[in-house]
Chains A and B, each alone.
Chain A
Amino acid sequence: MTWYPLDTWIVVVGALCAMACALPGCYLVLRQMSLMGDAISHAVLPGLALAFIFTGSRASVEMFVGAAATGVLTALLTQWIHRWGHVERGASLGIVFTTLFALGLLLIVQAADYVDLDPHCVLHGALELTPLDVVWDLAWGGTILEIPRAALVLAGVALFNALCIGLFYKEFKVTAFDPQLATALGIHAGAMHYLLMIMVAVTTVAAFEAVGSIIVIAMLIVPAATAYLLTDRLGVMLGLSVGVGVWGAVLGHVMAITVPTWFGFRDTSTAGMIAVALGLIFMVAVVCAPRHGLWARRRLRKAPHHVEKPAIRV
């Protein structure tokens, strides 16, 4: 394995992407609406395609505004179809996001001849190419740091997410745990919901170029679900999910450039391997998590005196 400066940037971009995704991902997992992340990451595609076609550039301001709007639109449409169409919530989500995703794909396929946008990018992004698009040269003690645009954009979005969650920490907490109480306390549960949807939409747009709109779902959900197994505290869960995301990115890239060579192939897609690595980390957590893991639960079963006596029911 040879490690080039390029590899470092790939890992940095992947890690920033995972960090940006993990934070809103925690709330998706806790609110048992992981599928909503899935839906929004798909549904922003027509917005992305239109922005590509009209502005010809990626990650423009218009694109983020468009993404936020599509995110809110997805949540709204789902709610409307659920309520007025008498359709179950999951089905209504399925209708909205597949329709929007298909529309986006059609736009990309149609525009592929004129615009530098590849349908494959939708599937797994192009993480390996992101370091080539440098926007900022930073001279620092004789060495020149060439900062890729993707790193800058993803760092910005990660910071935005961290700020939102830091600022509205208790509001997000109470709306996720007990929306009825939140409303009773004068915290608008609906507004918090749409703020989360905006965060997810903006994050998936920023992540699109790096990991595409499918693998981003792994980054939203898997680190959060892993952290959920590892702790009983919300604050710790947020921190752990970011940590798991970063380790997934590092492990994923290392695996992408080493594992295929063992079998005589060239290196493979880092984005894909990050998702695989995250899955592996999750599996380890399922087995070894301190309290909720299979191992710990088995130990608990063998030593029943650790289990509290059940309350007497009357």
Chain B
Amino acid sequence: MKATRLFDPLPRGQEHAADAPLSIHDLTVAYHRKPVLWDIDLDVPEGNLVGVIGPNGAGKSTLLKACIDSIPRASGDIRVYGRPYRQQRQRVAYVPQRESVDWDFPVSARDVVAMGTYGRIGWCRPVGRAQRQEAHEALEHVGIGHLADRQISQLSGGQQQRVFLARALAQKASLYLMDEPFAAVDAATERAIVDLLKELKQQGKTCVVVHHDLATVPSYFDRLILLNMRVVATGPVAEVFTNENLKKTYGGKLTLLTEAGQALVNTE
């Protein structure tokens, strides 16, 4: 035990799970000196579906982006399965918000999903038959295999979201970071995403999902991170999804609170 402590890279020596899928320590992120995330400290245990909720501008997306080194951080340390992200790229799949790309780009659904396999192909080597097959299977998995050859702007919002999920599947990761996959999708897609999340969980994979709809929190997730610049609360949904915590997270936004109260009543 002593030896491992010697090599423990965590600066303050606070005890963190050695190889948790995601372990964030003292993370602070600022845009133009204005803090967006302040002193975030949390562990995500393996094999869980973790919801991230909080008001607009609470830093939910920023938290995910910080995990994949996509934005600079002011301070802090993030470990993915016990190591810095750049050594663990292959184990993480990030599903961005749908608006983050140009859907008029001249590629088919299958092309986009095949991009998930690029990390395994290596530099300067073309996409082979095997990767195209994998891409097709991932599309079948999310129920839109028949749309593989469509140009991506010819897909509905829900179908585009499924393309992104299929791409993450094709990455064959063990930690999935999803930024609002349920935003503006049709009911069938929402169902498909939930099924997929449960399936990933059964395979022992971990998903961290930014979520907006408080009403569905108890039925979709095992654990919750309530975020508003700081971590207001984190833990199993049954413990932390309380009126008091929601009040702390969302401030005095009454409409949301009534909605959440409704959700609480429904679970009881």
Contacts and interface: CB of A to CB of B under 8 A. Distances in A.
Interface residues of A, number: 32
A185 B106 CA distance: 21
Given A170-B126, A178-B101, A311-B158, A234 B70 contact: no
Interface of B: 68-70, 89, 92, 94, 96, 100-102, 105-108, 111-112, 115, 118-119, 121, 123-124, 126-127, 151, 154, 156-159, 167, 184-187, 189-190
Contacts of B156: 308, 310-311
A157 to B, nearest CB: 20
Interface stretch (A1-9, A14-22, A119-127, A225-233): A225-233
A186 B116 CA distance: 12
A189 to B, nearest CB: 10
A149 to B, nearest CB: 31
Contact of B187 (A185, A187, A231, A312): A312
16 contacts: A167-B124, A173-B111, A178-B100, A180-B94, A181-B94, A181-B115, A183-B69, A183-B70, A184-B94, A233-B106, A308-B154, A311-B156, A312-B187, A313-B157, A313-B186, A314-B186
A171 B127 CA distance: 11
Contacts of A185: 89, 115, 118-119
B118 A187 contact: yes
Contacts of A184: 68, 70, 89, 92, 94, 119
B124 A237 contact: no
A228 B115 CA distance: 21
A177 B115 contact: yes
Nearest to B157: A311
10 closest Cβ pairs, A-B complex: A232-B151, A311-B186, A311-B156, A185-B119, A312-B186, A311-B158, A174-B115, A234-B106, A178-B101, A177-B105
Nearest to A231: B106
Nearest to B156: A311
Given A32-B102, A170-B118, A311-B157, A177 B107 contact: yes
Nearest to B125: A170
Contacts of A236: 106
A308 B157 CA distance: 12
Contacts of B159: 311
B184 A176 contact: no
Nearest to A186: B89
Contact of A180 (B70, B89, B189, B190): B70
A237 B108 CA distance: 13
